[in-house]
Amino acid sequence: MAREQTGQGERASRRVSAGQVSAGPAGLQQAVASEPVRVLQWSADGCRESWLDDPADGVALLQRPGTVGWLELDGSVAGPGWKAVDELVGERDARGQSQERPRLVNTGRCDLLVVRRIRRTARGRYDSVPLRLFVGDRWIVTITAGETPELEPVRARLRAGAEGAWSGGPGHVAADIVGLLMDGGFPLLEKLGDRLEALEQAVMGPLDKRVMQRIHDVRHSLLVLRRAAWPLRDALASATREPRPRLPPDVQQRLRHCLDQVVQMLDLLENYREISAGLVELYLSSVGARTNEVMKVLAIISTIFLPLSFIAGVYGMNFDTTQPLNMPELHWAAGYPFALGLMGLCALVQVAYFWRRGWLGKKATLLLEDETGASLDTLAGRRR
């Protein structure tokens, strides 16, 4: 049962006159968070908002004559009262599944529109949960897991009695909710675009293993958004394609606008997916180019010391030096300087050769920049 509001903030039901935004004490907000059922009922006289513990009590409030009601339920909270909700909407399990795809169906008693809410996780990724909207003749039921602060503008509009709020039916509330979720998707895409630009600069900087992990986080978020938006396009197209008694023409017109927004989001998602794939290729190319540079330096050093080791090995052989043909230079007065000079001459000849070939110095750096720059130019072409 709904509990009346007291001075301590123990809450349940209040009445808000048209044109007045409701506000409550701090203790009221704590009570709202602990009660998983919210009911908004509006008419020409005003808006009544109730917080309950049992979904069955919310169903009873929806059946009051002369009002239009919005029942909000937390699908993560189980209880026997869900049987009344199942009977109201004509579903065997009104809470649905966590991996449910966006769709639009008629249950016989109402129209069911499923959308996906986007949430940000602690790791900075984005995840989605289903939001089920049951649109009846005089009521709308929304079921999702957890709190829905992103829907507060819709509630505030109903409480404040904004223009058209009282005359609008459940279909208008459903259109408001879908439109609000679509409007919230573009800031998320903008943030992901900014992260991609930052990652593009990080890829060209010093090697950092965390860069690849960040790229994969962005790609995961893009995949979540795409899985939420792609089937929603088909659901909204079905909602606007043919007449539906619970979705008046003006509601269908607003849903067409939401459909256009979904198409725009899908275009941006495809573009960002290509950019993220290009960043992975660019990172791997940069790692490969730097690895080749290190291997080239090691190979040059080994090549320079190869003839020096040969000379040292020749003069380190133990032959009978009393014989005239067995290394007579070992008895020279300048034998040691001669060996060092020969080694230095071999090293200088090789260094000069490598320099002339462009394997040392600025030319080698330019070659490395050309290899990574080509990948960056390809990525810039994809962005355009």
Q: What is the pLDDT of residues 255-277, one digit of tens each?
A: 999 999 999 999 999 999 999 99
Mean pLDDT across the chain, nearest whole number? 81
What's the pLDDT band for 1 if we cut at 50, 70, 90?
very low
Structural domains in the chain, sorted by start: 166-384 (1.20.58.340)
Residue 281 has pLDDT above 80, yes or no: yes
Residue 367 has pLDDT above 70, yes or no: no
- Note the pLDDT tens digit of each residue in 176-200: 999 999 998 899 999 999 999 999 8
Residue 358 has pLDDT above 50, yes or no: yes
Q: Which amino acid is at 29?
A: Q
Residue 175 has pLDDT above 80, yes or no: yes
pLDDT at 276: 92
- Note the pLDDT tens digit of each residue in 23-57: 343 333 333 444 679 999 887 778 888 899 899 99
Pair of tokens at residue 127 = 């995840």
What's the pLDDT band for 381 if we cut at 50, 70, 90?
low
pLDDT at 360: 76
Q: How far is CA 34 from CA 12, 51, 53, 73, 304, in A?
A: 11, 9, 9, 12, 76
pLDDT at 7: 30
pLDDT above 70 as % of the chain:
83
pLDDT at 4: 34
- Could you tell me if 247 and 111 are in contact, meaning their C-beta atoms sit under 8 angstroms apart? yes
- What CA–CA distance (Å, rounded) separates 249 from 246? 10
- Note the pLDDT tens digit of each residue in 305-344: 998 999 888 888 877 777 777 888 777 888 888 888 989 9
- Could you tell me if 106 and 112 are in contact, meaning their C-beta atoms sit under 8 angstroms apart? yes
- Identify which has the larger pLDDT, 79 or 194: 194
What's the pLDDT band for 164 if we cut at 50, 70, 90?
low
- Could you tell me if 112 and 90 are in contact, meaning their C-beta atoms sit under 8 angstroms apart? no
Pair of tokens at residue 382 = 């994809």
Residues 6+ apart with CB under 8 A from 360: 300, 351, 354
Question: pTM above 0.75?
Answer: no
- Note the pLDDT tens digit of each residue in 145-155: 988 999 999 99
The secondary structure of 47-110 as a DSSP string is EEEEEES-HHHHHHHHT-TT-EEEEEEETT---TTHHHHHHHHT-S-TT--TTPPPEEEE-SSS
The secondary structure of 243-272 as a DSSP string is -BTTB-HHHHHHHHHHHHHHHHHHHHHHHH
Distance linking the first and last C-alpha atoms of the chain: 59
pLDDT above 90 as % of the chain:
37
pLDDT at 162: 56
Pair of tokens at residue 345 = 């001459």
What's the pLDDT band for 71 if we cut at 50, 70, 90?
very high
3-state secondary structure of 45: coil
- What CA–CA distance (Å, rounded) separates 194 from 214? 13
Q: Which amino acid is at 164?
A: G
Triad 301, 304, 305: Cα angle to 5°: 90
Lowest mean pLDDT among 16-25, 163-172, 213-222, 365-374: 16-25
Residues written for the chain = 384
The average pLDDT across 4-30 equals: 36
- Identify which has the larger pLDDT, 72 or 356: 72
H-assigned helices in the chain: 26-34, 55-62, 82-89, 152-160, 170-204, 209-241, 249-315, 335-357, 362-383
What's the pLDDT band for 288 if we cut at 50, 70, 90?
confident
Pair of tokens at residue 79 = 């209880």
